[in-house]
Amino acid sequence: MKEKMIIALDISSRERALHLVRELHDLAGMFKVGSQLYTAAGPEIVREIVDMGGRVFLDLKFHDIPNTVTRAAVEAAKLGVLMMTLHASGGRAMMESVVGELHEKLASKRPRVVAVTILTSLDTPALFELGLEQPVEVQVERLALLAQDCGVDGIVCSPREIQPLRKIVDANFKIITPGIRMPDQFLNDQQRTATPHEALAAGADYVVLGRAITMEPDPRAAMQRLIQSI
């Protein structure tokens, strides 16, 4: 079960991040380094976590022209990350370029590439406001199938879309889900959420645990309670 757990280090403090890695390394499969921590502490924080034996999920959601994203992905791979994100909405050329370059340079040692479909902070009215005329569920499915066709290893989606996706994507296509909350926790800025048990039961390969763990007074005890609840 621990391999399915990703701890989101969505904090600004290098010291706090490394403390959480030390506290939770035996209870979690990966640690997510996103924009906040990466901007505050730089790429060195990734190297430090890797040197401590932690596996890093680099969640910078690359989204740019194919050449720029491909070069960024290669640099991320040099840091020793296990998995990284890009936006599926960056399109076919961008995704295929990244996958092809990483395979050429690193072959089987390349990090996994997963594509973000629709952010869990968005709902259907928000998509309509952006000019996207399909409901969230339809847009997520379209982007997931595109990502799979481009050779990407998996996608990031909300817990609400897992079951429909499992019916249309390959069995080995990974599904990573944020938006995880315990039953008694507030949604904050998330719109499409579920408990860890619900997400895993629906078919998620990994669940991303952020504030549900890291903002608790005793993160280790919170993590142990969460695992016991699954």
pTM: 0.92
Cα 191 from Cα 122, distance rounded (Å): 6
Domain 2-229 has CATH 3.20.20.70: yes
* pLDDT averaged over every residue in the chain: 92
Cα 6 from Cα 177, distance rounded (Å): 10
pLDDT in tens, 184-193: 554 454 445 6
Write down the domain spans for the chain: 2-229
Helix (H) or strand (E) holding 8: strand 5-8
Catalytic center residues: 61
Cα 46 from Cα 58, distance rounded (Å): 8
pLDDT in tens, 35-82: 999 999 999 999 999 999 999 999 999 999 999 999 999 999 999 999
Strand 154-156 and strand 174-177: the pairing is: parallel
What pLDDT is stored for residue 187 in this prediction? 47
Residue 225's contacts (CB-CB under 8 Å, 6 or more residues apart) are none
Percent above pLDDT 90 for the chain: 80
pLDDT in tens, 165-216: 999 999 999 999 987 766 555 445 444 567 888 889 899 999 999 888 998 9
